Amino acid sequence: MSKTILELLNDLFNRWCGESITSITKLPASGSPREYYRIRGSSRTAIGAINQDREENEAFIEFSRHFHALGLSVPEIYLIDLDNHAYLQEDLGDLTLFDHVFQLRDNGNFPEALTEIYKTVLSELQKFQIQGAKDLNYAVCYPRASFDRQSMQWDLSYFKYYFLKLAGIPFNEQRLENDYNTLIEYLLAQDTAYFLYRDFQSKNVMLRDGLPYFIDYQGGRKGALQYDVASLLYDSKADIPPEVREVLLEHYIAGLANYPGVDAEKFRGSYYAYVLIRIMQAMGAYGFRGFYEKKTHFLQSIPYALNDLKWILNHVKFDIEIPTLLKVYEALLEAPKLKRFQDRGNRRSALTVNINSFSYKHGIPEDPNGHGGGYVFDCRVISNPHRVDQLKELNGKDKPVIEYLEQQSDVNEFLSATFSLVDMSVDKYDERNFTHLRVSFGCTGGQHRSVYCAERLAEHLRESQNVRVTLWHRELD
């Protein structure tokens, strides 16, 4: 972390609460250029944000203050310094709805307790969409003031160029564009006078004391209610079962009775058209990040999207004529390049990834499966927490060590390269029906760096791959 950032955040923190920073931790990156830091003083805590995009900052701050004034569950903005691209906001903790889904799910089941949490989230969403839309300053919306024709065209082109073409799906471009225009006209004919969150997914919902709080709505704009509901219920990695999605949809529609100006039946009638455009936007992102940028873990979301499309084709009848688009969906389900993704989404992989940490003093662990393959990563190239006195007696699962390592730029660089290699092997091993892949992380003592990296890889694979994961810390265990 540069000294200028530390000085800037320390100044903001001191002006806000009169305390100096006693500890500061850079939070893990979330795919955007924004940087977040957890700041602690002697008695207060806050999240410091650094973002060079002034327009995006202005939108987030304006929306936050508007929603907070209405009593909605968003982080309070404490202090801003837009000239230096920084602001302080309330610390809502670390638990996201996405994390909670994986904590509560049991062997793929979706427990009733999780369904109830989603119902609460959907009821809160209505307050943002309907009450929050009143007197909202849409002039600060970024990059568009509404989910208009241009916004929709961007999303559909994204799907066409970064998914269909890169996946080798044949289509008649003019006929597809005709169907795009039909879909857009239909979507724009719906009631679009509400606040559209735009990226309403489980990773943007924080849970604190069991209650949901919303973050990352800086891309919000005016639009229809259906889009955000589709975003949450068809959030690929959350993998909500179809029958549970229908229960949650009915819960949302029933809640519209609290808002007399909303036509619930019109909402229901056009809902799945919004599901389609949301899925296409997401698939465009998977194609761009996965096929184009070669970040293979994004490809792991493809089977969920394909399964969702298959369910829609089998259960939903659309009252608009989009024959070419529907044929494209059918072609996606049969495409040779995508077949392996769909197959993997419909079955549990036979592959087990055995991850372990060790100390080089005691040698590299042997492979009990007898293959002798896999990876051994030398973590001694990254910053060593053992050199910090207060961390010596801890290990890579302890929070102070985790916070220390997450601040080191070489750690993220090391793990990014590691994840890419392991993801590539997982794809190939699973495709060839191999049963075991071994990944070992070594460091000097087998306590700090190797343990942390092994934990991070296990977390990454559980979130992004359809494989079994075992984890063993040899020196600790």
pLDDT (tens digit per residue) in 204-263: 999 999 999 999 999 999 999 999 999 999 998 788 999 999 999 999 999 999 999 999
By C-alpha distance, which of 226, 229, 335, 237 is closest to 286? 237
Contacts of 315 (CB under 8 A, 6+ apart): 242
CA 413 to CA 29: how far, in whole Å?
12
Confidence band for 418, pLDDT divided at 50, 70 and 90: very high
In the predicted model, is pLDDT for residue 366 greater than 50? Answer: yes
Please compute the mean of the pLDDT values over residues 169-189 and round it to a whole number.
Answer: 97
Residue 435 confidence (pLDDT): 87
Residue 430 confidence (pLDDT): 78
pLDDT digits (tens, 9 = 90+) for 347-365: 456 788 999 999 999 999 8
Residue 349 confidence (pLDDT): 63
Please compute the mean of the pLDDT values over residues 418-423 and round it to a whole number.
Answer: 90
CA 208 to CA 175: how far, in whole Å?
48
In the predicted model, is pLDDT for residue 147 greater than 70? Answer: yes
Q: Angle at CA 35, nearest 5°, toward 33 and 36?
A: 150
Residue 108 confidence (pLDDT): 65
CA 388 to CA 401: how far, in whole Å?
10
CA 54 to CA 36: how far, in whole Å?
16
CA 327 to CA 324: how far, in whole Å?
5
Determine the topology of domain 97-345 in CATH. Answer: Aminoglycoside 3'-phosphotransferase; Chain: A, domain 2 (3.90.1200)
Q: Domain ranges in the chain?
A: 3-89, 97-345, 352-473
In the predicted model, is pLDDT for residue 180 greater than 80? Answer: yes
pLDDT higher for 366 or 318? 318
Spacing of C-alpha 128 from chain mean position: 20
Q: Whole-model pTM?
A: 0.77
pLDDT digits (tens, 9 = 90+) for 280-328: 999 999 998 888 776 666 777 888 899 999 999 999 999 999 999 999 9
Please compute the mean of the pLDDT values over residues 459-475 and round it to a whole number.
Answer: 84
Dihedral pair phi/psi, residue 170, rounded to 5° = -75, 145
Domains 3-89 and 97-345 equal at CATH topology level: no
Confidence band for 1, pLDDT divided at 50, 70 and 90: very low
In the predicted model, is pLDDT for residue 148 greater than 70? Answer: yes
| 366: number of Cβ within 10 Å | 9
Q: Please give the mean pLDDT across all residues of the chain.
A: 91
Q: What is the CATH number that goes with domain 3-89?
A: 3.30.200.20
Q: 352-363 burial string, b = 16+ CB within 10 Å, else e?
A: bbbbbbbbbeee
